[in-house]
Amino acid sequence: MVRNEARRNALLDAAIDVLAEEGARGLTYRAIDAKAGVPAGTASNYFASREDLMSEVAIRVTQRLAPSEESIAESLALPRDRSLTVKFMHDIVKRADADKASYLAMMELRLEATRRPELRTALTKTFAANLDFNIAFNAESELPGDRMAVILLYFGMTGFIYERLTLPDVAAMTDLDEFIEVLVTRAIG
């Protein structure tokens, strides 16, 4: 198996775009090659099987979705109150809007995880760690809201972004700023 990391990542990024644009159904070796602008057959030199490819895509998407260290550090310089939580929620939406392909690819992968135990295990680990981190972070940073508040924010934002990316006109029935404002206010309790 070929291990040219630069080219491998370029192929994985192409795979993410293909997943977002064509869905799991369109995710073929040839589609990836075409998207990445490399000769047909290249992707199959890098990924042993379609299954293998998807596991690697999951890792790549996780990398791309993680917020940057800097942006977290930057936010932590601000006062630790409700308005900071509001800012974090806005950041999540901004990130989703800025990299729709990654979010949509992740949604495709989550559906795939339903039938591929290996992928499910990997994604479960990632998402559980993420939620745990958020709960701990909220407590340690002395941000307002208990554990349940973080969970309500988590599921509320998950649902909202899911709707915003798949059925934007339904999400648009709710004003973004007002939604986040009310969500945070009431979740914190």
Residue ranges in contact with DNA by CB under 7 A: 2-4, 7, 26-31, 38-42, 44-45, 48-51
Assess 34 for contact with a second copy (CB under 8 A).
Answer: no
Among 17, 112, 138, 143, binds a second copy (CB under 8 A): 112
**Rounded distance, CA 145 to CA 149, Å?**
5
Assess 56 for contact with a second copy (CB under 8 A).
Answer: no
Give alpha helix (H) positions in 23-146. Answer: 29-36, 42-46, 50-65, 69-76, 82-98, 100-113, 117-140
Burial group, residue 5, by CB count within 10 angstroms (0-12, 13-18, 19+): exposed
156 and 150 in contact (C-beta within 8 Å)? Answer: no
**Rounded distance, CA 68 to CA 74, Å?**
10
Q: From the list DNA, a second copy, none, which binds 21 (C-beta under 5 to 8 Å, kind-based)? A: a second copy
Q: From the list a second copy, DNA, none, which binds 134 (C-beta under 5 to 8 Å, kind-based)? A: none
Residues that bind a second copy (CB under 8 A): 20-25, 104, 107-108, 110-115, 120, 123-124, 127-128, 131-132, 148-149, 151-152, 154-160, 162-163, 165-167, 169-170, 173-174, 178-179, 182-183, 186-187, 189
